């Protein structure tokens, strides 16, 4: 059995964070979950609360935190465009001040720290699939910039703390991930389409639906997080974590309608500004360094996600 560690997960009551907390507890670690419940929910971690090695702290990472842990997974940040654009100044503060506070904490207590970065650092990419060496194509003044530039600045801070203070860092660039524990009102495409299909509402495809995304099931991603955290200290990333299977948004809509047996119609709403036209991770680095690649096919992951939303909606 792995050595027992004290592990802090910021954003731990959100979608990815709740799965990560559960996995770390299963592995025998002490888990401190920190969240301000902006987009996360107590429901996601309610089943973990009785666990003797689980602790929950309501806290906003834009303020300093004083705790003693061995490892930090920094996930706190709204991830859905509708939520991160709701209060864009707060989104940048969460990414940047949150990173400074968690890096400062890691420096003081000599903890290893992983950043949940994003494929959004590549913006609307002009090379395809995206490799880690690509510097990206981001509009710094558009509506997505609070998130994209916030995450880019957080990466900068991670690497400066590494160079300047010898901090042990890991940077994961996460591509679109889906699964149970996404909020009904999350607003991202997989949860929107499933909820709409189950309720018999119109499926809202933005634009023509020819834009592409690559969808990773949450269990695969969490496995990637844990393997990345376990790499030797001289390995920092950034490392792409995502499923290379690429689909158009229209294909996703049709798949969800078929799999739910829904009578919903597809409608076309305006395409949001700066919506990336294509996105697919090159995961060569993850294959080489951590021997990782996603195991879950889109339809298999959708079966589990649809079952979760059926239950949550009481259908
Ligand atoms: P989520 O919105 O479900 O989770 C984010 C969590 O952070 C929520 O519980 C929220 O309440 C919390 N939070 C937000 N601001 C906070 C603050 N100031 N202080 C403390 N807690 C705060 O989203 P998610 O999909 O679970 O994303 C988790 C992380 O992974 C985010 O950093 C996100 O940018 C990154 N990421 C996710 C994806 C994906 O497809 N799921 C893709 C790329 C990057
Ligand atoms: N999208 C859509 N309908 C929705 C929600 C999203 O067509 O109800 C599209 C969105 O325009 C984007 C893609 O689906 O092209 C993925 O959007 P999401 O918000 O899930 O994540 P993004 O990758 O854009 O951050």
pLDDT per residue over 180-214, tens digit each? 999 999 999 999 999 999 999 999 999 999 999 99
Residue 300 pLDDT greater than 50, yes or no? yes
Selecting among 84, 147, 161, 217, the annotated active-site residue is 147
Give CA–CA dist 216/49, Å, rounded. 27
Query: Residues 205-215: pLDDT tens digits?
Result: 999 999 999 99
Closest CA to 247 of 217, 211, 285: 211
**Residue 1 — very low, low, confident or very high, per pLDDT cuts 50/70/90?**
very low
In a domain, 58, yes or no: yes
Query: Residues 112-163: pLDDT tens digits?
Result: 999 999 999 999 999 999 999 999 999 999 999 999 999 999 999 999 999 9
Query: Residues 10-24: pLDDT tens digits?
Result: 999 999 999 999 999
In a domain, 269, yes or no: no
Distance 78 CA to ligand 2 centre (A): 15
Q: Show the domain range for 226.
A: 6-181+215-242+281-294
In a domain, 132, yes or no: yes
Q: Which ligand is nearest to the CA of 171?
A: 1
Does the active-site annotation cover 147? yes
Give CA–CA dist 143/85, Å, rounded. 7
Mean of pLDDT over the chain: 97
DSSP E strands in 18-166: the ranges are: 30-35, 54-58, 71-74, 112-118
Number of domains in the chain: 1
In a domain, 25, yes or no: yes
Return the exposure string of 212-246: e unless at least 16 CB atoms fall within 10 Å of the residue's CB, then b.
bbbbbbbbbbbbbbbbbbebeeeebbbbbbbbbeb
Query: Residues 28-80: pLDDT tens digits?
Result: 999 999 999 999 999 999 999 999 999 999 999 999 999 999 999 999 999 99
Q: Model pTM? A: 0.97
CATH number at residue 110: 3.40.50.720
Q: What is the pLDDT of residue 3?
A: 77
Distance 243 CA to ligand 1 centre (A): 19
In a domain, 63, yes or no: yes
In a domain, 87, yes or no: yes
**Residue 2 — very low, low, confident or very high, per pLDDT cuts 50/70/90?**
low
Residue 168 vs residues 107, 158, 247, 302, 306: alpha-carbon distances, Å: 9, 9, 36, 36, 38
Distance 11 CA to ligand 1 centre (A): 6
Q: Which two tokens stand for residue 56?
A: 């929950």
Of 77, 86, 188, best ligand 1 pocket probe by most atoms within 8 Å of the beta carbon? 77
Query: Residues 241-273: pLDDT tens digits?
Result: 999 999 999 999 999 999 999 999 999 999 999
Q: What is the pLDDT of residue 104?
A: 98
In a domain, 203, yes or no: no
User: Does 247 sit in the ligand 2 pocket, CB within 6 Å?
Assistant: no
Query: Closest residue (by CA) to atom 21 of ligand 2?
Result: 188
Distance 230 CA to ligand 2 centre (A): 32
Give CA–CA dist 2/104, Å, rounded. 27
Of 48, 76, 94, 153, best ligand 1 pocket probe by most atoms within 8 Å of the beta carbon? 76
In a domain, 43, yes or no: yes
Q: 169-174 and 239-241: which strand pairing? A: parallel
The three-state secondary structure class of 178 is: strand
Strand order in the sheet with 239-241: 54-58, 30-35, 6-10, 71-74, 112-118, 169-174, 239-241
Q: What is the pLDDT of residue 134?
A: 98
Q: What DSSP string runs through 42-84?
A: HHHHGGGTT-TTEEEEE--TTS------SEEEE--S--SHHHH
């Amino acid at each position: 059995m792995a050595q027992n560690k004290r592990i802090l997960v910021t954003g731990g009551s959100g979608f990815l964070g709740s799965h990560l907390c559960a996995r770390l507890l299963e592995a025998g670690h002490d888990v401190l979950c920190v969240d301000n419940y902006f987009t996360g929910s107590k429901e996601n971690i309610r089943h973990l609360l009785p666990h003797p090695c689980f602790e929950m702290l309501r806290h906003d990472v834009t303020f300093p935190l004083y705790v003693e842990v061995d490892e930090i997974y920094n996930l706190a940040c709204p991830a859905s465009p509708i939520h991160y654009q709701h209060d864009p100044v707060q989104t940048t503060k969460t990414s940047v001040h949150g990173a400074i506070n968690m890096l400062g904490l890691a420096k003081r207590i000599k903890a290893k720290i992983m950043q949940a970065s994003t494929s959004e650092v590549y913006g609307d990419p002009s090379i395809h699939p995206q490799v880690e060496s690509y510097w990206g194509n981001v509009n710094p003044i558009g509506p997505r910039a609070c998130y994209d530039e916030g995450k880019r600045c957080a990466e900068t801070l991670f690497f400066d703390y590494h160079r300047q203070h010898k901090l042990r860092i890991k940077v994961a660039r996460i591509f679109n991930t889906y699964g149970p524990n996404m909020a009904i009102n999350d607003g991202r495409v997989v949860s929107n389409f499933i909820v709409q299909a189950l309720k018999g509402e119109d499926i809202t495809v933005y634009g023509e639906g020819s834009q592409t995304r690559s969808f990773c099931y949450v269990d695969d991603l969490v496995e990637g997080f844990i393997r990345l955290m376990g790499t030797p200290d001289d390995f920092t990333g950034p490392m792409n974590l995502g499923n290379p299977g690429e689909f158009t948004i229209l294909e996703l809509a049709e798949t969800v309608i078929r799999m739910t047996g829904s009578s919903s119609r597809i409608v076309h709403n305006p395409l949001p500004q700066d919506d990336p036209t294509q996105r697919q991770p090159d995961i060569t680095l993850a294959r080489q360094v951590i021997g990782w690649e996603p195991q879950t096919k889109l339809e298999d992951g959708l079966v589990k996600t649809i079952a979760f939303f059926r239950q949550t909606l009481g259908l």
